[in-house]
Structure 1
Amino acid sequence: MEEEKQGLILSRHFTNAEEFARTIRDSNVEYVPLEAGRYESRIMILQHGSILLQRAADQAHVTRGTIDRHRAALLLPVLQRAPPVVNGRPTEPQDVIIFRPGSELHALAPAAVEWGSLSMPLQEADWLLELGGKPCMGSHADPMRLLPPEIAASIRQTFSTATDPAWNASGGSEFPAADTGLRRGLHELVIEAFSKAEQLSLPGRATRDAIRLVGTVEEYLHAAVARPIYTDALCLALAVSPRKLHHAFVAVCGLSPHVYLKRRRLLMVRQALLASCPKASLVKSVALAHGFWHLGNFAHDYREQFGESPSETLAFAGAATVLSTGQSPPDGPGRAALRDRFRHSAGVSPNRAR
């Protein structure tokens, strides 16, 4: 059982944004980096009793999805260069936010950010809240609640105490065993936080409409992934003006509709290439299947976004498959680089692995 695992569960670096998003616990999210070039992020997951802690360092991004309906979770900033916007609400460095289980999550981080989260099983949280005469988590209608400043400060301090040693350990190979006192303190503090969270004012109607419109466009994209999407046709299909569509995407995603949708498609292509066998898949066919009909423009945009060509991504996918079986990649000038990149993406130091 998950509750029996204690201490460090995972510490890993990523060069693939989608893989990073899949690794995050307590939520199911889609993830779009906002910065062009090679992607890098890091996540660490710890278990203290029934409390799951996550700490991550990441580039500017847009995230949308849902919180796990079986977990009671809170989110806190560790280090931020610009205020992230969560569900239409700009956050402050001192904020600690509690999410209703199963609620929607829409987040825009306009710059690099380091964040943390704590969660526990919803059934356990509700039972303990009921024992203390407090309302259960599911009784709150609002999707987000904010902690009072004094409890938020205690949460941030305790989170740092619990995660700093493993986060700062060289290579993540050394970390302290789960401390009973810290575990008990975390448990009591999280329950206190759940019981004293304050209601947040909902974002205005315009913000809610913008979030809903971006979600509708995402659904449209998935339904028409093989066709180019032009702004005029999109506005006609959704019965919105170009101005309203533009403002919605800038507010929610920090990008124009054209730039965001192109980046989204490029990410889909990259995922398809990484999941492909070089002998069974051609870059051209994957690009065409995702609505890129001008292959020269596609190759330029792909390299600009990911810092490598589509064929290099495909070669890496093949090398990763070979190396994961203990074999050696094919000979060639990029052999060493492919080996090191695969090991880095798996969280292994190239020097230590050899």
Structure 2
Amino acid sequence: MTVHPIRFANFTRFMQQWFPTAECLYRRGLLAPQEAALLREKFLCQFRELLDYTFEQRGDRQILKPTRRYWIFATVQAMIDSNLAKNFTNEELCQQFCISPRAMQYAFKEITGVGVQQYIRARKLNAVREELCGPSADPSTIYAIASAYGFSHMGRFSEQFYRCFGEYPSTLKKLHKSDIKMRKSMIS
């Protein structure tokens, strides 16, 4: 598939302008780490919607089927997302889909930029954070939520959580409790 060079250059220029702006806001302290992560996710969601809309508008033109690496990524990702509580090994995933470890690793590196295990860890950490920040969550049980997603060593879990989000789970719990109290006082 070929891309028109001028359109690709315009897109590249847009991406190069957007990312430094977001990074500058983060460096100046105008965005907290979690706000920067949310901004990034929001941008990526809108970008995916734009791509989906673009492909819908193609009409009768030929739509190329996804590459094998994309198929590998999509099927393994679906398995991981549906079983986040399970600790998968690369060998188990490869046997499940009859693919080689190298093909799976290349697929994840090409599409996400990280390896399979780093992707699984990031998905689990995001799931824990969503539960801690959720409106119906009981944030007093960080250990229970983390162990439900397969984190058995709380020190390592806390360290990984901090590296990913820039704050410790206990800090997030305190912020969440104060946020709930503030919302209740505003409603009353």
Q: Give the TM-score category using the shorter length.
A: 0.5 to 0.7
* Equivalent residue for 2:33, pick from 30, 38, 48: 38
Q: How far apart in 2 are the matches of 1:139 and 1:255?
A: 34
Return the offset for 1:39: 3.1
CA distance in 2, matches of 1:262, 1:243: 19
- Say if 2:148 is the partner of 1:228: no
Shift of 1:294: 2.5
State which of 153, 156, 161 in structure 2 corresponds to 1:297.
156
The amino acid of 2:92's aligned partner reads A
Unaligned runs of 5+ in 1: 1-36, 44-56, 68-74, 76-85, 88-97, 102-136, 144-201, 328-354
Structure 1 vs Structure 2 CA RMSD: 3.2
Is 1:306 the counterpart of 2:188? The answer is no
1:39 partner amino acid: Q
Q: State the distance in 2 between where 1:288 and 1:64 align.
A: 33
The aligned amino acid for 2:118 is V
Aligned equivalent of 1:83: none
Partner of 1:16: none
Q: 1:240 to 1:40 in 2, by over 3 A?
A: same
Q: Which residue identity is paired with 1:38?
A: P
Q: Kindly indicate whether residue 140 of structure 2 is the aligned counterpart of residue 140 of structure 1.
A: no
Relative to structure 1, is the Cα distance of residues 243 and 64 closer, same or farther in structure 2, using a 3 angstrom cutoff?
A: farther
Counterparts of 1:11-160 in structure 2, within 5 Å, are 38-41=33-36, 58=40, 67=49, 75=50, 99-101=54-56, 137=57, 139-142=59-62
Matches for 1:259-270 after TM superposition, within 5 Å:
259-270=118-129
Instruction: Name the count of aligned residue pairs.
Output: 152
Q: Distance in 2 between matches of 1:64 and 1:248?
A: 23
Identity of paired residues, percent? Answer: 22
Matches within 5 A, 1:228-247: 228-247=87-106
Decide which structure has the larger Cα Rg and report it. Answer: 1
The structure whose residues are more often helix, as a share, is: 2
**Residue segments in structure 2 that go unaligned for 5+ positions in a row:** 1-31
Q: Is the 8 A contact 1:228 1:292 kept in 2?
A: no
The residue type equivalent to 1:325 in the other structure is K
